[in-house]
Structure 1
Amino acid sequence: MEDRGKLEAAIDQLLNEEKQMRLAGDVPGTRKAVTDILRLCFESKDWKLLNEQIVNLSKKRGQLKQAVQSMVQQAMQYIDQTPDVDTRIELIKTLNNVSAGKIYVEIERARLIKKLAKIKEGQGLIAEAADLMQEVAVETFGAMAKTEKIAFILEQVRLCLDRQDYVRAQILSRKINPRVFDADSSKEKKKPKEGESIVEEAPADIPSLLELKRIYYELMIRYYSHDNEYLEICRCYKSIYDIPSVKENPEQWIPVLRKICWYLVLSPYDPMQSSLLNATLEDKNMSEIPDFRVLLKQLVTMEVIQWTSLWEKYKEEFEKEKNMIGGSLGDKAAEDLRLRIIEHNILVVSRYYSRITLKRLAQLLCLSIEEAEKHLSEMVVSKALMAKIDRPSGIVCFQAAKDSNDILNTWASNLEKLLDLVEKSCHQIHKETMVHKAALRA
């Protein structure tokens, strides 16, 4: 009781000092008074009194912005030294309420909410943690360091993915421009011009830009895996593969390069996939994984691939992915791999045949006639190739897809030939007329 009385007497004395300093507009004096009050509460381990004093001091008439900022920053140092979780949450909530709506402590508020979300996540309340994080729009904070902003947004995306809110995860991920990771961090920081806001240094626990790049693409892989967007997943792995720290360590880049190869094979054929496939084949590091080089080579070679022999050869490698970086390739991956091989074989057949019977096509694809027709129809609908099926005759006619420019060029060429023929005909008629006139005169 005696200690309690001394504490209250000391706080009352400091409150009087704080009032005098505040009314006089003395910024350093007010800051010192409020921080001393909080320090006394902390040293006496009276957490309830600490919360009360934070609220009371922030509500004082004409309270200085700098004093509130110092008070919040001082109290934030005590969060990790609280005796239990409930006390910690109570202190964070008090500081949140004090800093709400105050632009000069917006960065501190964002950090407090991040701490609270971490506690909620630890308690298994992922939805609540995600909702807390989404309340803060750090992209509008001019004074926050770039790396801290990115780390905060990535945390928002991760929590949305954990609660399987893929729509919001995509919206949040678009706040980060991937080009920001390619910025040269070695350049000296420019000094802020007069009138510009001073950017604060990022806390020590915030990862570097290149580490954030890896976290960003790993989260995007999780997002694209939801809808099995294999080409986008492949591009994400390609970006991770290009990080210098990954390229320098074979233990890191070999599993990533394997993933690139698998997802290239799983991706439906399009110009982007073809470009990435050829670029990957030219990579010197492919010599370290020769089996995958052979696999990609088969896809660019216009030859029919036997599915059974290919699966026997690569089944073990396919299963091995489960124990590597990034985990297994997904539940549908094996089915989609077979589908890609069938599509490749149909494209090969379309290159070598203009007309073929469905029966023969089914034999080349090692499928039943119904399955061959189904896969061919799907490729025609997706405009991967041009073909017509004469079902009564059981004949498939492959046609080369014509561009609108090619059609116009063909018409122009035909018109030119027609005009040449008319001109030649007119010349011949004129010649015959002249010959007959000369004969009559004679």
Structure 2
Amino acid sequence: MDTYLFDGGRITKMEVDYEPACNEKIPMAMELAKKNPDAFHEAIEMMLQLEKQTRLGADMVSCSRVLVAICQICLQAGNWNALNEYVSLLVRRRSQLKQAVVKMIQECCTYVDKTPDKETKLKLIDTLRSVTEGKIYVEIERARLTKILADIKEADGDVAGAAAVMEELQVETYGSMDKREKVELILEQMRLCLLKEDYVSTQIIAKKISIKFFDDPAQHDLKLKFYNLMIQLNRDTSFLNTSRHYQAIAEPPRKKKPAAVESSTSDEKKKGDDKKTKEEDDKKSEADVAVEPEIELTDAQKKELTDKLVCAVIYCVLAPFDNEQSDMMAHLSKNKKLEDVPAYKEILRLFMSKELINFDTFNADFGMILAENEMFKDNSKHGKKCITELKDRLIEHNIRIIAMYYSRLHLTRMSELLNLPTNRCEEYLSKLANSDTIRVKIDRPAGIIYFTTKKSASDILNNWATDVNQLMSLVNKTCHLINKEECVYSVMCAVED
């Protein structure tokens, strides 16, 4: 099998072994070009003739050595234009061996950092990207070159150009690339899209990463980078998702899980006693699922994780009320680490309780504490939005509590409870009614608000069926009475006759 070459899924027989010729001519050509710079083209011509022989003879190893030698001769001579020209020429040659092209491209990628100036570097990258376009066997090299080009464009201030270059890469389809490197490139695409404020593209790109990848403790740094980018994406659009992202990075890093020990039981014993083996498998699976021990953290790291948890609590409170938000508040309230920040635990308790929250009292108790957080700074647009949303959540919470305890209420009395003018009360009632949070009707002439409970679909159907039964009973009774009157009338007519 040594005389056969697997190229592109095809088995190609190596007709001639040119290793002796390569061992003789490659050092000769490199020495010739090194001693006499004027003999550069002569050395290249010698290599091109040898390249043709190895290519037509399907000697992949020798052809790879020749292509790499041509690139090395160009590098020694400092002739970057010749390097770009010969790379483009050699890739397009008929019956060129794919593995030889891979070796040449990999060699040229190492020259990118050796270029004398920026213009030469860009020209070399452009050449390598053009010759690798559409070739699956050099997709990794093309992706790395594209990353370098994007970094150069970003350093020049062309963020849109850098993002456009990176978005060309469909990294998730690269089968030969390491999963960690894939995620790093996708995160770079997300970062550049966020810089140019293309939030739709960022959301689409983020879905290419499976969150299960971050379960590996070795990927903790990428996990932090991913969730920080997602926080930047969702902090102004979805407070609930932002809270979820903060909860993910508030978890401390864990130690790597040791390799599972193989079972020593034989297959025959397993077949003989199925019940016992099932119990053993269940115990082993429970042991495997056991949580890995946490890494010991410094005081600064513990404080940072606590701050992330506080942010998760705040954004959860700022999120509009629904079942998911309610479940998240209940989940957060059970977190033992909230005992280190009792003020925020009390805020959660207030929003989960079935009691009215007085805004002035709330502001006096927690105003100074909340003002220490970045999201409540008055000098930023996001801070002003968070302050407004917090006031709205307080009022909406109070309206939901009022709807639980009252079936009808005067609008003036409600404005007293909420400490709001009547027109603002109507605005909040309409908002909650439109979101289907409460069921309410307002009698404006009388100034009375009627609260009703939301009925399930089965209750509505039962009421409808009951109404139909009553209607049919009335119809049946009416028909019976009509028949009775007709009978009485016919008997009376017969008697008179």
Range of TM-score over shorter length: 0.7 to 0.9
Distance in structure 1 (CA, Å) of the matches to 2:346 and 2:416: 25
Which residue in 1 is equivalent to 2:398?
345
1:191-210 deviation digits (Å, cap 9, x = unpaired): xxxxxxxxxxxxxxxxx533
Which residue in 2 is equivalent to 1:267?
319
Which residue in 1 is equivalent to 2:444?
391
Larger Rg: 2
Which residue in 2 is equivalent to 1:66?
99
3-state SS of paired residue (1:223): helix
Which residue in 2 is equivalent to 1:212?
222
3-state SS of paired residue (2:235): helix
> Among 216, 224, 238, which residue is 2:234 paired with?
224
1:122 aligned to 2:132? no
8 Å contact from structure 1 (residues 210, 243) kept in 2: no
> Among 330, 340, 354, which residue is 1:288 paired with?
340
> Among 303, 313, 327, which residue is 1:251 paired with?
303
1:112-166 deviation digits (Å, cap 9, x = unpaired): 1111111111111111111111212122211112222222222222211211112
8 Å contact from structure 2 (residues 409, 449) kept in 1: yes
Matched residue type, 2:221? E
1:371 aligned to 2:424? yes
1:181 aligned to 2:214? yes
* CA drift at 1:110: 1.4
Distance in structure 2 (CA, Å) of the matches to 1:126 and 1:359: 56
CA 1:225–1:285: 2 relative to 1, 3 Å: same
8 Å contact from structure 1 (residues 181, 210) kept in 2: yes
1:330-354 deviation digits (Å, cap 9, x = unpaired): 4410000000000001111112222
Which residue in 2 is equivalent to 1:10?
43
Q: Which moved more, 1:332-341 or 1:7-16?
A: 7-16
TM-score (norm 1): 0.82
1:7-51 deviation digits (Å, cap 9, x = unpaired): 333323222222222221111111111111211222333222222
* CA drift at 1:240: 1.9
* CA drift at 1:176: 2.1
> Among 105, 116, 120, which residue is 1:83 paired with?
116
3-state SS of paired residue (1:397): strand
* CA drift at 1:60: 2.6
Matched residue type, 2:317? V
Percent of pairs with identical residues? 38
Distance in structure 2 (CA, Å) of the matches to 1:251 and 1:298: 24
TM-score (norm 2): 0.74
1:29 aligned to 2:39? no
3-state SS of paired residue (1:332): helix
Distance in structure 1 (CA, Å) of the matches to 2:127 and 2:213: 35
Distance in structure 2 (CA, Å) of the matches to 1:78 and 1:403: 70
3-state SS of paired residue (2:409): strand
3-state SS of paired residue (2:372): helix
* CA drift at 1:318: 3.0
Distance in structure 2 (CA, Å) of the matches to 1:226 and 1:22: 59
CA 1:319–1:90: 2 relative to 1, 3 Å: farther
1:200-242 deviation digits (Å, cap 9, x = unpaired): xxxxxxxx53322222222222221242x11111111122223
1:260-315 deviation digits (Å, cap 9, x = unpaired): 11101101111111111011111100001111001101111111111123234333
Distance in structure 1 (CA, Å) of the matches to 2:169 and 2:399: 52
1:279 aligned to 2:342? no
Q: Which moved more, 1:309-318 or 1:27-36?
A: 309-318
Distance in structure 1 (CA, Å) of the matches to 2:192 and 2:168: 13
8 Å contact from structure 2 (residues 433, 439) kept in 1: yes
Matched residue type, 2:320? P
Distance in structure 1 (CA, Å) of the matches to 2:147 and 2:425: 55
Distance in structure 1 (CA, Å) of the matches to 2:132 and 2:464: 73
Which residue in 1 is equivalent to 2:361?
309
3-state SS of paired residue (1:101): coil
Matched residue type, 2:235? S
Matched residue type, 1:354? S
CA 1:226–1:263: 2 relative to 1, 3 Å: closer
CA 1:85–1:374: 2 relative to 1, 3 Å: same
Gap runs ≥5 in structure 2 = 1-32, 255-293, 471-497
Counterparts in 2 of 1:144-163, with a 5 A limit? 144-163=177-196
* CA drift at 1:322: 2.3
CA 1:411–1:102: 2 relative to 1, 3 Å: closer
3-state SS of paired residue (1:144): coil
* CA drift at 1:411: 6.6
Distance in structure 2 (CA, Å) of the matches to 1:140 and 1:166: 22
Distance in structure 1 (CA, Å) of the matches to 2:211 and 2:353: 34
CA 1:109–1:244: 2 relative to 1, 3 Å: same
Matched residue type, 1:377? S
Distance in structure 1 (CA, Å) of the matches to 2:469 and 2:225: 61
> Among 40, 45, 53, which residue is 2:73 paired with?
40
1:405 aligned to 2:458? yes
Distance in structure 2 (CA, Å) of the matches to 1:181 and 1:330: 31
* CA drift at 1:416: 11
Distance in structure 1 (CA, Å) of the matches to 2:76 and 2:383: 54
Matched residue type, 1:251? K
Distance in structure 1 (CA, Å) of the matches to 2:364 and 2:115: 59
* CA drift at 1:73: 0.4
Distance in structure 2 (CA, Å) of the matches to 1:337 and 1:299: 11
Which residue in 1 is equivalent to 2:388?
335
CA 1:413–1:282: 2 relative to 1, 3 Å: farther
Distance in structure 1 (CA, Å) of the matches to 2:374 and 2:386: 12
Distance in structure 1 (CA, Å) of the matches to 2:38 and 2:63: 24
8 Å contact from structure 2 (residues 190, 206) kept in 1: yes
3-state SS of paired residue (1:181): helix
Gap runs ≥5 in structure 1 = 186-207, 418-442
8 Å contact from structure 1 (residues 157, 173) kept in 2: yes
Distance in structure 1 (CA, Å) of the matches to 2:49 and 2:103: 18
The root-mean-square deviation of aligned C-alpha atoms, in Å, is 2.7
CA 1:318–1:86: 2 relative to 1, 3 Å: farther
Q: Which moved more, 1:61-70 or 1:13-22?
A: 13-22
Matched residue type, 1:241? A
8 Å contact from structure 2 (residues 252, 305) kept in 1: no
